[in-house]
Amino acid sequence: MVGNLSPSEQLTYSTVRIECEYPDGGIGTGTGFFFRFAEQQDKHVPAIVTNKHVIEGATRGKIHFNLADNQGLPLMANHVAIMIDNFQSAWIPHPIPDIDLCAMPIAPLLNQATQEGKRVFFITLDRSLIPPSSELAELTALEEIIMIGYPNGIWDALNNMPIIRKGITATHPNVDYNGKKEFMIDAACFPGSSGSPVFLFNFGTYATKSGTTVVGSRIKLLGVLYAGPQHTATGEIEIVDVPTRQRAVTISRIPNNLGLVIKSQRLLDFDTVFR
């Protein structure tokens, strides 16, 4: 427990708003989250994770960090934005080319903040939140999930806080959807939600696969949102990356409240890269 922050409050500090600038003058927003890679004893590599398509083509990027007080607790309405040049090149792509994930080590950014006399606050997710196959097998096809991010770029700009969306699993988290390490959720997935962490979130009680009610809480990182089916004005259904920019198009695409999620086990593939 961090200070007097509840589990859900702590999770809101695990995400970060990503703003991208493109050569044509356009601006896009996406979601990232903090994760510890290559953990060994008391050492790890702190990084931000998002989708590759979020930062693709971006010449500059802006990351928003919350500030902390002398006790290391978050200061409400106090945050700082760090601008990064050559933004796309700052990210390390997932070692498997067709996996839409990338990570950016943030130790240099944290050192920069320290040198400027600023203390930042964030909650870092780690591999202990990634459920192994044995735990996924004990889940049901319908589980409650939350997704944290910045849909349509919406956020609490004063306090630098994200938006929480609630939904359910639309396919079983232990089944590889269409043969890929993915599953589907039923939740509102809008532009800006790309890169949002998707959590199994049960607080107070939850039901097991056998139907037994357990008194307690359960929080697991199930995956990362990256795409979703949308239907066009002509009635066709297409699977498209959740965009970072809202722009005029000749064909209207309408989200149908489903999202494709890359399973969180794929995050562990970065460990070999960072080691």
Write the DSSP assignment of the chain as a string of letters.
--TT--HHHHHHTSEEEEEEE-TTS-EEEEEEEEEEEEEETTEEEEEEEE-HHHHTT-SEEEEEEEEE-TTS-EEEEEEEEEEEESTGGGSEEPSSTTS--EEEE-HHHHHHHHHTT--EE---B-GGGS--HHHHTTS-SS-EEEEEE-GGG--BTTTTB-EEEEEEESS-TTS-GGGSSEEEEES---TT-TT-EEEEEE-SEEE-TTS-EEES-EEEEEEEEEEEEEEETTS-EEEEE--SS----SS-EEE-SEEEEEEGGGGGGHHHHH-
| Residue 254 maps to a domain | yes
Of the candidate ranges 6-20, 76-90, 214-228, 245-259, the one whose mean pLDDT is the lowest: 245-259
Please indicate, yes or no, whether residues 17 and 132 belong to a single structural domain of this protein: no
CB 257 within 8 A of CB 186: yes
State percent of the chain over pLDDT 90. Answer: 68
Domain with residue 231: its CATH number is: 2.40.10.10
42's CB contacts (< 8 A; 6+ apart) are: none
Q: Which domain holds residue 255?
A: 128-264
| Residue 1 maps to a domain | no
Residue count of the chain: 275
* Average pLDDT of the segment spanning 216-242: 72
Please indicate, yes or no, whether residues 85 and 167 belong to a single structural domain of this protein: no
Which pLDDT score is estimated for 1?
53
Provide the CA 59 distance to its chain's centre, in angstroms.
Answer: 22
Of the candidate ranges 29-38, 197-206, 253-262, the one whose mean pLDDT is the lowest: 253-262
Split into its structural domains, the chain has a count of: 2
Between CA 148 and CA 32 the distance in angstroms is: 10
Between CA 252 and CA 231 the distance in angstroms is: 8
| Residue 40 maps to a domain | yes
pTM over 0.85: yes
pLDDT confidence tier of residue 213, bands split at 50, 70 and 90: confident
Please indicate, yes or no, whether residues 256 and 142 belong to a single structural domain of this protein: yes
